[in-house]
């Protein structure tokens, strides 16, 4: 049987493949710059890790107490707060958000900017002409379709478009092992007042019911470790269930806690494999069931709790990373390297969740310049430009970086900033009929700063 590909007569200036953390912002930035923009998304909502993988709150990225990711990120936070889907705690941390609220806000921001969305559509292949992507093939309920644009943005998180186009890439550490994955869940029916009191009694005092954070990692001096040891002894938990445990309250969802766990089986770490992702969903739900029983039995306030939702997306920290015009390194981060074509600043630490040996590498102190409170390094525009292809930009967790460096730049707010830069640059490429390497980085930086970027 021959599969027919429908040629869509409509063309776009910019097509963003993947409406996740970087892609949604890229689409907004591109459309606001006047480009006819289409965002192609596999699921039914924008936001990716922040919404469909339920990764809340945003991790702080500050230097001298000031947020390093501004621009569209600021607007997103402000709109969430206005809807009571975001909040600011007493430490001026404005990163608390409701994943369901973010789905709505991102969609409205893109539509209001003039962008289009094609939901429930999967990328299939890149089609090339003279080192350029001429079109992409996608699949949805209408079958196979061919979509054309002047410039493309690969915001799949796994470099799917890039790999299909022949861009060289790296994946995992020196042994090919990726960072561990998680399947997040939300627990409802929690008496937050009782839980706050219980956690305070156990050495983890909470600011309030609105801003809760509690955690346990084996041998990291968590005051909750004795409870986990008892649960393992009682047969309620497995030893691996204590590798990583973390809970957060959620704005606009009273009685609910979002859990940044369970960490999945060590062999399930390749998020670019559909078979692995499928097994991860099964393994994660079993682990969540154990954690539910643990919470009900050992955490006061959770006696009548229940699962509100399992994240539809597995929480993936790292898969493929493109080889770009510049590859960011660990040395660049530790030495606080600056670039003439910088499009993002970062001070989030090297944060490697390795599935082997239960080791968590989270560097927060040391003698390098990066460990000073006013320090930051920069991410260059060149790290978004893949080798080989002339009309493709790759923002987000699969930008060009080493395994160690990627662990520091992969968090959501950095993906926002990279996406904003990629969207603006792609719109200019379409308008001026140029390739991504021909963009004036000086003018790009000026425009980003004018839009509120911290550069």
The enclosing H or E element of 323 equals none
80-129 pLDDT, tens digit each: 999 999 999 999 999 999 999 999 999 999 999 999 999 999 999 999 99
pLDDT (0 to 100) of residue 189: 98
Q: What's the number of domains the chain is made of?
A: 2
Using the 3D structure, point to which of 287, 310, 333 is the last residue of a domain: 310
CA distance 366 to 35: 45
Please compute the mean of the pLDDT values over residues 169-197 and round it to a whole number.
96
- One domain, residues 354 and 275: no
Please compute the mean of the pLDDT values over residues 215-233 and round it to a whole number.
97
- One domain, residues 62 and 122: yes
pLDDT (0 to 100) of residue 299: 98
47-78 pLDDT, tens digit each: 999 999 999 999 999 999 999 999 999 999 99
- One domain, residues 197 and 170: no
CA distances from 110 to 29, 46, 104 (A): 9, 9, 10
Query: Does the pLDDT value for residue 220 go beyond 70?
Result: yes
CA distance 166 to 126: 9
pLDDT band with cut points at 50, 70 and 90 for residue 356: low
pLDDT (0 to 100) of residue 251: 97
pLDDT (0 to 100) of residue 362: 72
By DSSP bridging, strand 132-140 and strand 122-129 are antiparallel
3-state SS class at 296: helix
Domain with 289, as residue range(s), is: 185-310
Backbone angles phi, psi at 258, to 5 degrees: -95, 130
Could you tell me which residues come within 8 angstroms of residue 401 by beta carbon, excluding any fewer than 6 positions away?
321, 327, 328, 329, 383, 409
3-state SS class at 9: strand
- One domain, residues 197 and 296: yes
Interhelix angle 99-112/72-82, nearest 10 degrees: 120
CA distance 329 to 315: 24
Q: What percent of the chain has pLDDT over 70?
A: 98
- One domain, residues 301 and 326: no
Query: Does the pLDDT value for residue 364 go beyond 80?
Result: no
- One domain, residues 123 and 152: yes
What single DSSP character describes residue 395?
-
- One domain, residues 137 and 218: no
Q: Output helix, strand, coil percentages for the chain, rounded to the nearest 5.
A: 30, 25, 45
3-state SS class at 107: helix
Query: Does the pLDDT value for residue 361 go beyond 90?
Result: no
Could you tell me which residues come within 8 angstroms of residue 59 by beta carbon, excluding any fewer than 6 positions away?
95, 348, 411, 412, 413
Using the 3D structure, point to which of 310, 344, 368 is the last residue of a domain: 310
Using the 3D structure, point to which of 265, 288, 310 is the last residue of a domain: 310
The enclosing domain of 382 has a CATH number of: 3.50.50.60
CA distance 371 to 364: 7
242-291 pLDDT, tens digit each: 999 999 999 999 999 999 999 999 999 999 999 999 999 999 999 999 99
Within-domain flag for 328: yes
CA distance 99 to 51: 4
**Span between the terminal Cα atoms of the chain, in Å:** 54
pLDDT (0 to 100) of residue 417: 98
**Neighbouring-strand partners of residue 133:** 128
* DSSP codes of every residue in 246-293: EEEE-TT-TT-EEE--PBPPTT---TT-HHHHHHHHHHHHHHHHHHHH
CA distance 54 to 259: 9
Helix residue ranges, H only, 113-234: 160-164, 192-201, 225-233
- One domain, residues 263 and 365: no
406-445 pLDDT, tens digit each: 999 999 999 999 999 999 999 999 999 999 999 999 999 9
CA distance 245 to 88: 23
Within-domain flag for 180: no
- One domain, residues 105 and 147: yes
Query: Does the pLDDT value for residue 359 go beyond 80?
Result: no
Within-domain flag for 70: yes
């Amino acid at each position: 049987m021959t599969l027919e590909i429908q040629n869509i007569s409509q063309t776009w200036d910019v097509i963003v493949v993947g409406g996740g953390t970087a892609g949604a912002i890229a689409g907004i930035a591109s459309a606001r710059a006047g480009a006819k923009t289409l965002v192609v998304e596999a699921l039914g909502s924008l936001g990716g890790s922040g919404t469909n993988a339920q990764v809340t709150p945003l991790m702080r990225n500050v230097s001298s107490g000031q947020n390093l990711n501004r621009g569209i990120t600021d607007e997103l936070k402000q709109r969430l707060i206005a809807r009571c889907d975001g909040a600011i705690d007493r430490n001026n941390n404005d990163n608390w958000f409701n994943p369901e609220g973010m789905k709505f806000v991102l969609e409205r921001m893109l539509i209001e900017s003039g962008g289009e969305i094609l939901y429930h559509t999967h990328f299939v292949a890149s089609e090339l002409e003279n080192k350029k992507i001429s079109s992409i093939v996608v699949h949805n309920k209408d079958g196979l379709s061919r979509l054309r644009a002047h410039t493309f943005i690969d915001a799949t998180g796994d470099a799917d478009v890039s790999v299909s186009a022949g861009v060289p890439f790296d994946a995992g550490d020196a042994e090919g092992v990726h960072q561990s994955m998680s399947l997040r869940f939300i627990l409802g029916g929690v008496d937050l007042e009782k839980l706050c009191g219980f956690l305070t009694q156990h050495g983890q005092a909470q600011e309030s019911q609105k801003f809760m954070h509690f955690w346990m990692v084996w041998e990291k001096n968590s005051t909750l470790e004795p409870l986990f040891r008892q649960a393992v002894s009682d047969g309620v938990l497995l030893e691996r269930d204590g590798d990583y445990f973390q809970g957060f309250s959620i704005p606009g969802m009273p009685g609910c806690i979002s859990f940044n766990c369970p960490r999945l089986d060590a062999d399930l770490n390749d998020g670019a494999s559909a078979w692995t992702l499928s097994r991860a969903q099964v393994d994660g739900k079993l682990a969540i069931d154990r954690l539910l029983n643990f919470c009900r039995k050992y955490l006061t306030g959770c006696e009548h709790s229940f699962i509100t939702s399992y994240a539809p997306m597995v929480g993936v920290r790292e898969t493929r990373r493109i080889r770009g015009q510049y590859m960011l390194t660990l040395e660049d981060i530790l030495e606080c390297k600056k670039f003439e074509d910088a499009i993002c600043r970062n001070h989030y630490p090297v944060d490697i969740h390795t599935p082997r040996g239960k080791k968590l590498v989270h560097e927060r102190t040391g003698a390098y310049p990066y460990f000073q409170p006013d320090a930051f390094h920069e991410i260059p525009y060149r790290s978004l430009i893949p080798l080989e292809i002339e009309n493709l930009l790759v923002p987000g967790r699969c930008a060009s970086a080493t395994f160690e460096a990627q662990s520091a730049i992969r968090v959501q707010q950095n993906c926002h900033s990279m996406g904003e830069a990629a969207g603006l640059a792609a719109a200019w490429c379409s308008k001026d009929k140029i390739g991504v390497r021909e963009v004036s980085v000086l003018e790009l930086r000026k425009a980003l700063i004018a839009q509120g970027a911290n550069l």
